[in-house]
A and B are shown apart, each in its own frame.
Chain A
Amino acid sequence: GQQLNQSPQSMFIQEGEDVSMNCTSSSIFNTWLWYKQDPGEGPVLLIALYKAGELTSNGRLTAQFGITRKDSFLNISASIPSDVGIYFCAGQPPSRGAQKLVFGQGTRLTINP
């Protein structure tokens, strides 16, 4: 089946640094979503992308839908301690049902104060 390769798997940064993570696939996707999961909680939707090339911001977060439709990235600017958590990308492939999302394995972000 279709898979998403999310990288890096983990990041250790200093507070105030910018963060960049991405998801890639050998297949195209119609929609890209980015979620954040805190320990002991469910994923929270951060950004949704619907068109190739689309660039969307949510506060300090910026995400882009790759022009080839096979990748997406998420940037976090000026990281703060509450940014700690696991970030997941999710894609909706055209060959699957409208409600079936494929998830990446996550990027675990750790911030040193």
Chain B
Amino acid sequence: ETGVTQTPRHLVMGMTNKKSLKCEQHLGHNAMYWYKQSAKKPLELMFVYNFKEQTENNSVPSRFSPECPNSSHLFLHLHTLQPEDSALYLCASSQGWGDYEQYFGPGTRLTVT
């Protein structure tokens, strides 16, 4: 595998379900990000991790819970989501602090029913 991978690529879940999104980067980067991409809206930054430590939470509701066990893996745990949370969730990575070039994964298309 190369670059940034995400699984699953598609996910349909009910509002009472619990699911997790996974991201893995094979670039040797130290920073990882979660973004939300909704139709007709710019990408919204959700969380930033540097060397496994969360350095940014962009006022994200607690029903989204990130986890970063190491610099290569990032998870987004989902529970009791709302239909308006349906979107493309993108993971990205970069070399680290001060590096603005972020590399994105293919995303997980989430539908909440």
Contacts and interface: CB of A to CB of B under 8 A. Distances in A.
A80 B56 CA distance: 39
Contacts of B56: 97, 99-100
B82 to A, nearest CB: 23
Contact of B42 (A31, A40, A48, A103): A103
A98 to B, nearest CB: 5
B12 interface: no
Contacts of A31: 100
Contacts, number: 64
Nearest to A43: B104
Contacts of B41: 105
B45 interface: yes
A88 B43 contact: yes
Nearest to A38: B106
A19 interface: no
Interface residues of B, number: 28
A97 B50 CA distance: 12
B33 to A, nearest CB: 7
B90 A43 contact: yes
A63 to B, nearest CB: 14
A98 B106 contact: no
A92 interface: yes
A98 B33 CA distance: 13
B98 to A, nearest CB: 5
Interface string A29-60: 00101010000111111001000000000000
Given A42-B92, A97-B56, 8 more contacts: A33-B101, A42-B104, A42-B107, A97-B48, A99-B97, A100-B48, A102-B42, A103-B43
